[in-house]
Amino acid sequence: MKSYWINLPVADVKASTTFFRNIGFEINEERSNDETLAGIMVGKQVICLFRKDVLESFIGKESRRSTDYPETIISFDMESRAAVDAFAERIRINGGAVLSEPGEKNGYYGLTFTDLDNHLFNVIVM
């Protein structure tokens, strides 16, 4: 295999793109539009945000509801505790939810948060 990417269903591509841009993610403009798809960059990898009905047409069934228990936690590492703290503030300002405040857990400093569609993310300093 040469690469991978993660596809997530979202209710509103434009709102999700704005959220991720405002909390510090680079947007792959070549793979993005305001209606059906946005590509957010994590290093050289892409997380594709598909409008829910478009993704469901690919998989042939309904995706999970935003209120369902998450099957996956997407994790990132950051450079420093200060970067994690600043990230938490950007999440709050832009409509995400910080589920666990920045702090020491299992030997790592980090936090967990959800985006506008309740996808679960973990951020730690490694």
The reported pLDDT for the residue numbered 10 is: 94
Two structure tokens written together for 76: 């990132």
Whether residue 2 is predicted with pLDDT greater than 90 in this model: the reply is no
Tell me the per-residue pLDDT of 43-80, one tens digit each, with 9 for 90 and over.
888 999 999 999 999 889 888 776 666 668 999 999 99
Q: Output phi, psi for 124, to 5 deg.
A: -140, 160
Element (DSSP H or E) covering residue 7: strand 5-10
Please state the rounded mean pLDDT for residues 81-109: 96
Alpha helices (runs of H) in 1-126, residue ranges in sequence order: 13-22, 52-59, 81-93
* CATH no. for 1-63: 3.10.180.10
pLDDT at 66: 64
- 65-126, CATH topology level: 2,3-Dihydroxybiphenyl 1,2-Dioxygenase; domain 1 (3.10.180)
Distance of alpha carbon 33 from alpha carbon 40, whole angstroms: 12
What is the reported pLDDT for 31?
81
Give the integer Cα–Cα distance in Å for 12 and 82. Answer: 30
